Structure 1
Amino acid sequence: MTTLVVGASGATGRLLVRELCDRGEYVRVIVRSPHRLPEALINHDRLTVICASILELRDDEIAQYVGGCDAVAFCLGHNMTLKGIFGHPRKLVTDATRRVCNAIKANASDKLDQSDRLDKPTKFVLMNTAGNSNRDRQEPISFRQQCVIWLLRVLLPPHLDNEQAADYLRTKIGQNDGAIAWVAVRPDNLINEDQVTPYEVYASPTRSAIFDAGLTSRINVAHFMADLITREEIWNEWRGQMPVIYNAV
């Protein structure tokens, strides 16, 4: 199995790449700065590094890099600097998600034209946030939290970007697309840990992401995303959903 990881140089992306390689998977990564990857990963014989900015690639280049991949994992995010938060591109995750999905569909269409047969859909695993609601489930949100989320949408472009990226998968790809199947993983307050620890996964938040946030270690997020990619029973359980992951208390 081959997985394309976008955002592989980030704090969670690096962990996901290592987890997949350790499981014997082949991994391609698109990174602007390969020096941000650990040396042990760069030299891994199952890793292919593509030096590029995802939004600066041509459509045919994205299709080429997606081609032959069984899964795509997005750990892409905005840099937590003034330029990263308020500068362009403000729709980094949404636009990259849309373009990669279009590339997957283009490849699937070409394959059908050649053989009239399409294997199982490409898995698309998006790292999102517990602060984003799954509007397919009509998750209850307190009035106070609704007010804060509205302010975040207005004042912090990355939050709106995360919402719109997940909404693209929900509404544009949906549940029955022949080329793409998806899961949007929603961690809560992210922390760093050295080892995978017990964690819990729910279909909807069990606590307020604003007023009673839980903790989720990045390494646990990477482990769960790798499970979605490599373990069919986990994938089948969460396909087309937005599971929330917390460290076990």
Structure 2
Amino acid sequence: MTVLIVGASGATGSKLVEQLLTKAYKVKVIVRSPEKLPESWKTNDHLQIITASVLDLSEVELSNIVSDCSAVASCLGHNLTWKGIYGQPRRLVTDATKRFCDAIESNNAHSPTKFVLMNTTGSRNRDLNEPISFAQKCVISLLRLVLPPDVDNEKAADYLRTQIGQKNKSIEWVVVRPDGLINEEKVTDYEIHRSPTRSAIFDAGKVSQINVAHFMASLISDLNLWNTWKGQMPVIYSKSSS
């Protein structure tokens, strides 16, 4: 089984690569700066490094890259710099999601490809009644105006929810919504919910990048877990944050 990961050089993406390699999967990564990757990756026969910008690849190139992949995982995000937040591309996550879905569909595979999108608790699952307070609505509306990455994450999740939907023959998807990312070295106990159990603005929880990576890898490798969450937007918290 081959898995493609984009955003593999980031804090969560790199941990997802390690999780999948530990499970003996073949992994492809698309990165712009391979020199920043661990040396152990460059000599690993189970890892293929593709040097490119996702949005610069042609439709044919993307189709070829995903042709032998049974799963695609996106950990793409905007760098927390002025250029990363306010520069181009403003719709990195959304545009990459659309392009990969188009590439997957173009191959007409006999079985659906799994697509796992790392997102945020700031994105609501509008298929569910996820009530939020008036104060939180006001803050989120302001964030949409001043922080383009928030809108990007929302639109990427909405694309999978509304355009790919629940009955697509080529793609099955899960949007993973972590809250308050922190760095830890080891996987710890965590919990998964259909919707946030606390306010992402006023009472945010925490979850380590390695726990998010572990859950994403488990979704890819565990069919029962996948069938539990496909077509949904599960929220993940580390139990210590409760």
The answer, yes or no, to whether TM exceeds 0.5 is yes
For residues 187-224 of structure 1, give each alpha carbon's deviation from its aligned partner in whole angstroms, at most 9, with x where no partner exists: 00000000000000000000000000000100000000
Give distance in 2, aligned partners of 1:171 and 1:35.
38
For residue 231 of structure 1, the aligned residue among 207, 217, 222 is 222
1:61 counterpart residue number: 61
| AA at the equivalent of 1:184 | V
1:71: Cα distance to partner? 0.1
| Correspondences of 1:10-89 after superposition (within 5 Å) | 10-89=10-89
Quick one: distance in 1 between partners of 2:127 and 2:36? 37
Q: Counterparts in 2 of 1:154-165, with a 5 A limit?
A: 154-165=145-156
RMSD between superposed Cα atoms in Å: 0.7
TM-score, normalised to structure 2's length? 0.98
What is the rounded CA distance, in whole Å, between the counterparts of 1:80 and 1:42 in structure 2?
Answer: 27
Q: Specify every segment of 5 or more residues in structure 2 that has no aligned partner in the other structure, as ranges.
A: none
Partner in structure 1 of residue 101 of structure 2: 101
Aligned residues of 1:32 and 1:53 also touching (Cα < 8 A): yes
- Asked if residue 197 in structure 1 is aligned to residue 188 in structure 2, the reply is yes
Q: SS where residue 107 of structure 2 aligns? A: helix
Counterpart secondary structure, 2:103: helix
**Structure 2 SS opposite 1:83:** helix
Per the alignment, in what secondary structure is the counterpart of residue 50 of structure 1? strand
- Contact between 1:125 and 1:183, CA under 8 Å: does it hold in 2? yes
Residue in structure 1 matched with residue 173 of structure 2 by the alignment: 182
| Amino acid aligned to 1:169 | L
Q: Give deviations 1:145-188, integer Å, cap 9, x for gaps.
A: 10111111111000000000000000000000000000000000
Q: Counterpart of 1:101 in 2: which secondary structure?
A: helix
Moved over 6 A (4+): none
Identical pairs, percent: 62
2:215 aligned with 1:215: no
Q: By how many angstroms is 1:36 displaced?
A: 1.9
Deviation at 1:42, TM superposition (A): 2.3
